[in-house]
Structure 1
Amino acid sequence: MSDTLPNLHRKIERARELRSVVSTMKGLAAASISQFEKSTRALDDYYRAVQLGLSVCLRASRRDTSKGSALSIVEPRVKQNIELTAAVVFGSDQGLVGQFNEAIAQYSAQELAALPGRKKIWVVGERAQDHLLGADLSLAGFFTVPLSVQAITPLVGQILIEILAGGETHRRTAGQQGSQQESQRESVQQLYLFYNSRRSGAVYEPVSQRLLPLDETWRRSMARIPWPTRKLPEVLGSSTTTLQALIREYLFVSLFRACAESLASENASRLAAMERAERNIDQLREDLQKTFYRLRQSKIDEELFDVIAGVEALTGAQQPKHRAD
């Protein structure tokens, strides 16, 4: 047998230490799931309030064309010659999450391939970035996955600045270089979010959400949301300013929810992977223990046989020889 007792003992100890690490990671994943799910549920009421506010503003300004300026971020005044679709793909920075990154990378690649125009992709998570590069997709930017609920807000701000404000900066730069380049302005006309959404337990599925443009279809769907009471509200002050503020909150909450759901799904996948790892380690330790006991018993048997053989040899040598009469 190739394994020796010291080698088997070391393997058993390493398996025990590895199981301790896996148990710790399992506990962290379970705690992370709880905090990200709580943050998602906490946003539901606020998201509903934003939708109701948008519904009121859009109904009030439906017949007032001047209110359309609030949607200038997705309806540029100058006709765009370059169609650009932006996408944000949420993945993970760390491994041990099963097929989490493969699933979202494959899904987003298939969905983006069906969309017209040029694509610019921003990815959240190093592991997802590797899979998207393997799918021959050109990436425009990279963001680090937040490790807590508090870190999601700065990430959302960075995404909005990078994708939306970045387009505005490019347009201003192009405008300074002459009227010929002014016609080639570039801005984001469509923005899609791709992320894994948790269903139950460790089950999740890749989903997509079209965040921009806030077109007529989106406005009609928002305007149809009924007010929950008979006391109809009215917009005080500038409805355009209110609408712009609500749109900013709508974009922020949508990105925040997508990130939080992705993080909850990531930790659910990691929890399931750690549970599988625990079972595998326990089975491995059991097999190693059996092999260790069997080998030790074999060594004990060999030593007993040697002792018995020695005793028999010694006893036989000490017996007197009988002479024949």
Structure 2
Amino acid sequence: METLQAIARKIDGAQDLGSVVRTMKTMAAANIEQYEAALTSLHDYHQTVALGLAAYFRHEGLRTLPPSPPASAQKTVGVLALGSDQGLVGQFNDLLADYLTDHLSTLPGEKIVWVVGERLYGHLEGGTYHPARLYTAPYSVAAVTQLVGQVLQQLEESQRQEGITDFYLFHHQPVAQGGYLPTGQLLLPLDKNWYQQLLHTPWPTPCVPHVQGPSTPTLQALIREYLFVSLFKACTESLASENTSRLMAMQRAEKNIEEILQELTQRYHRFRQSTIDAELFDVVSGFELLGKD
């Protein structure tokens, strides 16, 4: 039979758990602000790189991208998926794993999948698209730089050794209404629509830009910076989405804990009142028996 002490212990445990949940909710909210600030500052850097590419293409007189090789079952497609290492993020990794699997099934050729985050790796492990490489998920803006450097280095090696022709990026992206949605983009080769928009982007100053130095190293440097800023932006959006998912999960947990605490408190008071009533009844009954004696 449940006792007052047992109910009191449950109340103490729920209160302790509620304190942990509130702490995690506060940390998630603080992290979201950190990553949103990074995304805001990253916009200017991305714009600078885009203008550099536009200046190069105009200087070289390139109005269209070189034609892509025809789709072939022999082509090799590189894929990077950004998940999480930690739990308590709701359906964050499940949604991305399903989205990734559905989209990869429509792409021709062999797929080489790299995954960021052990949780997402676990969802894909042993499936149709078993990950070939696992990266540790970053937990700060500073750690994102190191991750992006590792991915770019591996991409260059894989292009030489494994012949990767296309490179796709899959991650979660925050939405304006709150929450997040999975998204994917083709980083290499350059998207034709994006390229045409880039050529029509007006130069922000009256000075006409000029390209100094050899053309090939300049283009390689610009493409590398474009890949760097795109990967950095995607990682930051993924981290913001992860913390948004954790914040939403903690809000649900906090609501559940409050309901459990309310129910336990009511049960405690009812039990305590019934115990007091029983003791009073025993005292009154004993007093009446003594009076009769």
For the structure 1 residues 3 and 100, does the alpha-carbon distance in structure 2 shift closer, same or farther, using more than 3 Å as the test? Answer: same
154, 165, 168: which one pairs with 1:162? 154
- The TM-score, its normalising length taken from structure 2, stands at 0.92
What amino acid is the match of 1:62?
Answer: G
Match of 1:206 in 2: 182
Aligned-pair CA distance for 1:243: 1.9
What amino acid is the match of 1:266?
Answer: E
Give yes or no for contact 2:73–2:109 (8 Å, CA) kept in 1.
no
Match of 1:227 in 2: 203
Distance 2:107 2:73 in 1: 17
Match of 2:47 in 1: 48
Distance 2:271 2:126 in 1: 47
- The TM-score, its normalising length taken from structure 1, stands at 0.84
Residues 158-167 or 282-291, more deviating: 158-167
Matched, 1:94 2:86: yes
Give yes or no for contact 1:202–1:269 (8 Å, CA) kept in 2.
no
Residues 131-140 or 259-268, more deviating: 131-140
Matched, 1:133 2:132: no
For the structure 1 residues 63 and 264, does the alpha-carbon distance in structure 2 shift closer, same or farther, using more than 3 Å as the test? Answer: closer
Distance 2:177 2:138 in 1: 22
Give yes or no for contact 1:202–1:265 (8 Å, CA) kept in 2.
no
Residues 206-215 or 261-270, more deviating: 206-215
Aligned-pair CA distance for 1:229: 3.4
Give yes or no for contact 1:153–1:256 (8 Å, CA) kept in 2.
yes
Aligned-pair CA distance for 1:128: 1.0
Aligned-pair CA distance for 1:201: 5.8
Aligned-pair CA distance for 1:301: 0.7
Q: How does 1:1-325 map onto structure 2 within 5 Å? A: 2-62=1-61, 82-133=74-125, 135-168=127-160, 170=161, 186-200=162-176, 202-214=178-190, 219-317=195-293
Match of 1:176 in 2: none
What is the total number of aligned residue pairs between the two structures?
Answer: 291
Distance 1:63 1:277 in 2: 56
For the structure 1 residues 242 and 105, does the alpha-carbon distance in structure 2 shift closer, same or farther, using more than 3 Å as the test? Answer: same
What amino acid is the match of 1:133?
Answer: E
Distance 1:164 1:3 in 2: 65
Give yes or no for contact 2:172–2:180 (8 Å, CA) kept in 1.
yes
What whole-Å deviation, never above 9, does each CA across 1:237-285 have from its counterpart, x for those lacking one?
3333322211110000000000000000100111111111111111111
Aligned-pair RMSD on alpha carbons? 2.4
What whole-Å deviation, never above 9, does each CA across 1:84-132 have from its counterpart, x for those lacking one?
1111111111111111111111111111111001111111111111122
For residue 204 of structure 2, give the secondary structure of its aligned residue in structure 1.
Answer: coil
What whole-Å deviation, never above 9, does each CA across 1:59-89 have from its counterpart, x for those lacking one?
211359xxx9xx9xxx89xxx9941111111
Larger radius of gyration: 1
* Long gaps (5+) in structure 1: 171-185, 318-325
Residues 263-272 or 207-216, more deviating: 207-216
For residue 133 of structure 2, give the secondary structure of its aligned residue in structure 1.
Answer: strand
What amino acid is the match of 1:56?
Answer: A
Distance 1:245 1:167 in 2: 16
Distance 2:286 2:101 in 1: 75
What amino acid is the match of 1:97?
Answer: V
